[in-house]
A and B are shown apart, each in its own frame.
Chain A
Amino acid sequence: MSKNSKKILNHLSKILEKKNLKPTDNISELKLFDSIIILQIINMCNLNFKKKIDGLQISKCKKIIDIINLIEKK
């Protein structure tokens, strides 16, 4: 896992309030994942990585690694 991926995972872990968040975690199994979380992820990408991420793309992600890849590829 790249340094940048770890940084994104760290931010996601704070947003989702889950300390041991893993890239392989299924989003559908997370307690907190709603429209507010999507806004927080868009916000995090904009402020910390200067990247524009689409809400619809985030909502299509199945696992945490999909979100990380989405942000890295932008």
Chain B
Amino acid sequence: MIKEINGIKIEGISCCVPKKTVLNKYSKENQHRARAIKAIGIERRPVANENINTSDLVLKSAKNILKKLKWKVNDVDILIFVTQTPDYLTPATSGILQDKLNLKKSTFVLDINLGCSGYTHGLITISSLMQNLKLKKGLLAVGDVTTQLVNNKDNVSNLLFGDAGSVTALLNTENNSNKILCNYYSDGSGFEDIIVNTHSLSGRNKISKSDFKKKKDKNNNIRSNINIKLNGPNIFSFAINTIPPTLKKILKNVKNIKYCFLHQANKMIQENISSHIKQNYKNVIFPSSLKNFGNTSSASIPITICSNFSKKKIKGNSIFCGFGVGLSISTVVVNLSKTKIFKIIKI
């Protein structure tokens, strides 16, 4: 079911990535690696060194967007931060960002633990709160330093992820011609398909010494319980079987959709979904940022927007589709024709 959030407009989008870029190299002798790189379509990725926290990438994006939009910090009524790599287990990183940005004490601040569907889930959450609480200006921060969760001997995950942060500025115009359409889907039975087994300090998942022990799986991937573990085939099946019908339903009901910004998971998923959609909707464009940024988790949709449109207007309506950890999917339809898209900055 497609739902409507009225009055909310996206004013601007800003992104930040680490300066350091890692190339997905391969040698002629390593056919497996060469094939994997070709299949996932990622040539290089921004990678944060160990001194960079997710909040650093987001803070830079936030300062940039506030300056460029000429927003005063006192005008920000809500800040939501979506991440699965927070600075601390507790407290929430949104509070740290509030302090570093010098936002007023009456700002509503909240962290959400989500990965690849985080941008769209975050947009739905912040827009709903802004509409219902009649908040004027909001910042949606998203980002992750997922590469720090990956074991460098995990042959596929080690090629996939890039690190990035992003901030989207939202304005409550209280004008119903500005609307955000959305729908969402969640299947918690797939919780083990993208998991870090031990990042808890309590209960039965409490971290212990044995969790640091590296183990080899049947595909010769080496990881420990503190590393991210992906069930590629399950995630892939979930994406290609669930997303095309969801997108088709939106395309059938919403006019003038020019762009579909998918979460940048890998090339195979993108090609599969776009080929399903293009059977009926030939003119829909699927922009990509995979080749140069990899899978940047919740920041991948804003990274795709900023890397492709910082000097261009985005005409018509756009679909954002985030999917992944949970397992979860959410889609949002917005009009970005008056949105200011800023060039990606580096730290």
Which A positions have Cβ atoms within 8 angstroms of B? 31-32, 34-36, 38-40, 42-43, 46-47, 52-56, 58-59
Contacts and interface: CB of A to CB of B under 8 A. Distances in A.
B234 interface: yes
A46 B232 contact: no
A36 B232 CA distance: 8
B205 interface: no
B237 to A, nearest CB: 6
B51 interface: no
Contacts of B241: 46, 52
Contact of B36 (A36, A47, A55, A56): A36
A34 B219 CA distance: 7
Interface residues of B toward A: which range?
Answer: 10 to 19
A35 B35 contact: no
Contacts of A54: 233, 237
Contacts of A34: 32, 36, 219
B156 A35 contact: yes
- Most B-side CB within 10 Å, residue of A31, A36, A54: A36
A55 B39 contact: no
Contacts of B36: 34, 36
Contacts of A39: 39, 232-233, 236, 268
B223 to A, nearest CB: 13
B238 to A, nearest CB: 10
Interface of B: 31-32, 35-36, 39-40, 156, 219, 231-234, 236-237, 240-241, 268, 272, 275
A14 B268 CA distance: 16
B232 A32 contact: no
A42 B238 CA distance: 11
A32 B35 contact: yes
Contacts of B236: 39, 42-43, 55
B233 A32 contact: no
A38 B232 contact: yes
A34 B220 CA distance: 10
Contacts of A53: 237
B233 A58 contact: yes
Given A36-B156, A40-B39, 20 more contacts: A32-B31, A32-B32, A34-B32, A34-B219, A35-B156, A35-B233, A36-B36, A36-B40, A36-B232, A39-B39, A42-B233, A42-B236, A42-B240, A43-B268, A43-B272, A46-B240, A47-B272, A52-B237, A54-B233, A54-B237
A32 B231 CA distance: 19
A32 to B, nearest CB: 6
B240 A35 contact: no
29 contacts: A31-B31, A32-B32, A34-B32, A34-B36, A34-B219, A35-B232, A36-B35, A36-B36, A36-B39, A36-B40, A36-B156, A39-B39, A39-B232, A39-B233, A39-B236, A39-B268, A40-B268, A42-B233, A42-B236, A43-B236, A43-B240, A43-B272, A47-B272, A47-B275, A52-B237, A53-B237, A54-B233, A55-B233, A59-B233
A38 B237 contact: no
A52 B244 CA distance: 14
Contacts of A42: 233, 236-237, 240
- Most B-side CB within 10 Å, residue of A40, A42, A52, A59: A42
A58 B39 CA distance: 18
A4 B35 CA distance: 27
Nearest to B39: A36
